[in-house]
Amino acid sequence: ARGCVDAGIVWIGPPAEAIEAMGSKIEARERMRAAGVPIVPGVTEAVTSADEVRRLGDELGWPIAIKASAGGGGKGLKVVRSSDEAARALESAQREGEEYFSDAAVYVERYLEDPRHVEVQVLADSHGNVIHLGERDCTIQRRHQKLVEETPSPAVDDELREQIGAIAVDAARAVGYQSAGTIEGLLSRDGEYFFLEMNTRIQVEHTVTELVTGLDLVREQVLIAAGETLSIGQDDVELRGHAIECRINAEAAHKN
């Protein structure tokens, strides 16, 4: 807003439209599908009945995952391994979506067994420039909360890095993204990479990317917000060394 700029306050986040679009996983999946970005096989509209869940399970192959459209951190996520579990899992996912995110909408996708969670850091300016800064491996988790972030991923070689980096850039472009952001994805045991969601913000794990690239990502955000072009191009990105971040999570295990 003009008043904020006059007061010396500058918004350094992405456009509101991008945040809104990526806040709905159903809309995000549809946008990515339309842009040719690979998504986990499944639907791009809300599922409302147990019969739909059963049909999709037979079509996609069991197990499947029911996910809250506005969910995250494992909330509103239910793995369904047979048709007998469909009704109960659907009701549970919808209830958690409503309770945690005020949105009961859910969708269904194939459940990938034991994938790696690999995300890509992107930077995008207001002049149409989008680059990626390599990947972070966030596979080690507890209750769907990340415990260890590592870059580069031990499962990603140069060829795959180029491939998933291009996917991340395409995903950011698909929503007109600006600022720093993260494209989260799943890397199957067969080496397939699928878009999972986009975090439209800087993340606590951005520091490992800074260590291997030598870039200050917060500074880049401020420059982008000021209307500057990116300080580097894709060919200038050089990954050096290896970095690991460990996060401490507290829980009352005796209370589950």
The candidate with the shortest Cα–Cα distance to 213, out of 156, 133, 155, 136, is 133
Only one residue has tokens 């006059």, namely 6
**Does 3 have pLDDT greater than 60?**
no
How far apart, in whole angstroms, are the C-alpha atoms of residue 42 and residue 112?
12
**Does 7 have pLDDT greater than 70?**
no
At residue 16 the predicted structure's pLDDT band, cuts being 50, 70 and 90, is confident
**Paired strand residues for 194:** 186
Looking at residues 79-86, what average pLDDT do you find?
A: 96
**Does 2 have pLDDT greater than 90?**
no
185-197 confidence digits (pLDDT tens): 999 998 999 999 8
5 vs 82, which has greater pLDDT?
82
How many helices and strands in the chain, by DSSP H and E?
8, 11
Arithmetic mean of pLDDT over the chain: 91
- The percentage of residues in the chain with a pLDDT greater than 90, rounded to a whole number, is 76
142-160 confidence digits (pLDDT tens): 888 899 999 999 999 999 9
15 vs 44, which has greater pLDDT?
44
pTM: 0.86
At residue 20 the predicted structure's pLDDT band, cuts being 50, 70 and 90, is confident
- The percentage of residues in the chain with a pLDDT greater than 70, rounded to a whole number, is 95
How far apart, in whole angstroms, are the C-alpha atoms of residue 238 and residue 116?
24
Tell me the three state secondary structure of residue 224: helix
- Both tokens of 9, joined, read 């306050």
The answer to whether the peptide bond before residue 41 is cis (omega within 30 degrees of 0) is no
Tell me the three state secondary structure of residue 86: helix
Alpha carbon 94 to its chain centroid, in Å, reads 21
110 vs 14, which has greater pLDDT?
110
Residue 251 φ then ψ, to 5°:
-150, 155
